[in-house]
Amino acid sequence: LGAPVLVSACLAGYPCRYDGSAFPCPAVVRMVEQGRAVPVCPEQLGGLPTPRAPMELRNGRVVANSGADCTEAFSLGARKGLEVARAHGCVRAILKSRSPSCGSGFVYDGAFSGRLVPGDGVFAALLKEQGFAVTTEAENQEQGG
Ligand code: SF4
């Protein structure tokens, strides 16, 4: 058996998103059920409550729609998520697309306008920097899943 894959907890069905919802991805749920994936939510690991304000990346910081700066909590959560990944020997991650933590390749532009721009969330960026192969649920859809 290979090392388990690190996955965003919301993709595994945990209701940890900012609005208290989950975003279950059947392929990821199945992997967790089979013990092949380890779920983490870096925003919860960083001490943020659920539900919480919508947040986006802007000029290298994480800001809530109220203007509050949550960069520290995001950095802490990313570091803790990395520790979990290392403890399980993960080298690969499937993370929720477009999130300011987990998004990989594209994130929202920081104006809460719904517009996407190239970039990585705080957690995805840290994992990539540390050599992890990071993909999104959109790239991991199984046929019919
Ligand atoms: Fe999902 Fe990641 Fe957001 Fe947590 S931080 S709710 S795991 S996308």
- This model of the complex carries an ipTM of 0.99
Burial of 89 (0-12, 13-18, 19+ CB in 10 A): exposed
Q: Which of 5, 7, 10 to mutate to test the pocket of ligand 1 (most atoms within 8 A of CB)?
A: 10
- pLDDT at residue 23 in the model: 98
Which atom of ligand 1 is closest in space to residue 10's alpha carbon? 1
**Backbone phi, then psi, for 118, in 5-degree steps?**
-60, 140
Strand, helix or coil for residue 55:
strand
Write out residues with Cβ below 6 Å of ligand 1: 8-10, 16-17, 41-43, 96, 99, 101-102
What one-letter code names the amino acid at 32? Answer: V
- pLDDT at residue 140 in the model: 81
- pLDDT at residue 144 in the model: 39
Average pLDDT per run of 10 along the chain, which is 145 residues long?
Answer: 93 98 98 98 98 97 97 98 98 98 98 98 98 94 48
- pLDDT at residue 143 in the model: 41
What one-letter code names the amino acid at 140? Answer: N
- pLDDT at residue 2 in the model: 87
**Backbone phi, then psi, for 115, in 5-degree steps?**
-85, 135
